[in-house]
A and B are shown apart, each in its own frame.
Chain A
Amino acid sequence: MKYWQLITDGIWHRNPTLVIGIGMCPTLAVTTSISNALWMTLAATFVLVCSNALVSAVKNIVPDHIRIPIFITIIASFVIIVELTLKAFQPEVDKALGIFIPLIVVNCIILGRAEEFAQKNDVISSVFDGIGMGMGIGFALGLLAFFREILGANKLMGYTFIPGMEPSLVMIMAPGAFFTLAFILWGMNVIKSKSKK
């Protein structure tokens, strides 16, 4: 039950991207299509779960004042694993995500969870926290990519959405990313204020 709580917290109540508002760069930059968003989620979740587990496992032997460099080294090692694996088996994905794969290292969500959760809890709940947060990232990225792919490329998962519609190119460029996220956050605020009443 406790583990279920951790997962639902990650997806909705404490959603890292939409509620806490961290880890914005990959969120906005890679959501030009659903497949990019999916691969980014997989990569980030893998790093998040592994680093959470390892940080939690070594928490008692890490001296407190040098814990941040150690956490960053742990995270960077897993990012390198992801980077090399994608380069070897999915070169097109690696090309599409570009520098945002190495930039997972500085994704605030991962260091934030290591600092805030993993170093205070046991390995199993840290793994579940990682899965929950990963699904939260997936939810946010999927939602953004869904709107941006339809409006910006007139496609859904690579298939044409409405035949003959001329897509608005700006939606898959930087301004579209900002606007889409603004409207999603607005919508969430509306839902929240309605449910409060």
Chain B
Amino acid sequence: MELKIFLTILFATIFINNYVLSQILGLCPFLGVSKKLDSALGMGLAVIFVMGMASFFTFFIYKYVLIPYGITYLRTLAFILIIAGLVQLVEMIIEKVSPSLYQALGIFLPLITTNCAILGVTVLNIDSGFITADYGLLKSVVQGIGGGIGFTLALLLMAGIRERLELADIPENLKGLPITFIVAGLLAIAFLGFSGMSF
């Protein structure tokens, strides 16, 4: 029974409410790091990791620090500082533990702090009422990881298409951002097909 709820959350965050293509969050890295497939994969993995961690820690801080002390209005400030600290910590740990992984992810980690999808997930976790729900912590972590996977999926689709676009014959004025947005719009229409799905 419970498992079904988690699978629903996972499916919904990956396809139905894809953070990039239907909620329009995290566009800066989506446009910036989608030129090559391998760097897109690296960015995607880093985002999945940080989103899961951020969901966990922000839930904890919100429930056990902000609510008991009645300072929930500091949510935005607290969350962005948690995320910034977390990203810094993850960067240092990866650098020490696995230099090869650091080589692959290193340059993407600082960028993640200003990825609005991360802050978006943590705020949405609170707004969707997971704080008082049963298994709330697990639900927010699942939502975070699902969001990260959805982000990675969108990024990989985009990177694959953009690698092909390099060779395509595009009108001069459409080159660069305009054609990228048209591709993003077409992808978003495809993902719109999932809306209305329910379990």
Contacts and interface: CB of A to CB of B under 8 A. Distances in A.
Contacts of B181: 178-179, 181-182, 185
B173 A193 contact: yes
B25 A175 contact: no
Contacts of B39: none
DSSP majority for the A interface? helix
Contacts of A189: 172-174, 178
A183 B75 CA distance: 37
A76 B80 contact: yes
Contact of A21 (B31, B76, B113, B182): B31
A182 B179 contact: yes
A129 to B, nearest CB: 20
B84 interface: yes
Contacts of B21: 174
Give the interface size bracket for A toward B.
Answer: 35 or more
Interface in B11-39: 21-28, 31
Contacts of A175: 185-186, 188-189, 192
A72 interface: yes
Contacts, number: 114
B38 to A, nearest CB: 23
DSSP majority for the B interface? helix
B28 A108 contact: yes
Interface in A98-145: 99, 102-103, 105-108, 111
A84 B75 CA distance: 11
A83 interface: yes
A164 interface: no
A84 B177 contact: no
Interface centre among A24, A84, A183 (most CB of B within 10 A): A24
Contacts of A151: none
Interface of B: 21-28, 31, 73-77, 80-81, 84, 113-116, 119-120, 123-124, 127, 172-174, 177-182, 184-186, 188-189, 191-192
Interface of A: 21-22, 24-25, 28-29, 68-69, 72-73, 76-77, 79-80, 83-84, 99, 102-103, 105-108, 111, 170, 173-179, 181-183, 185-186, 189-190, 193
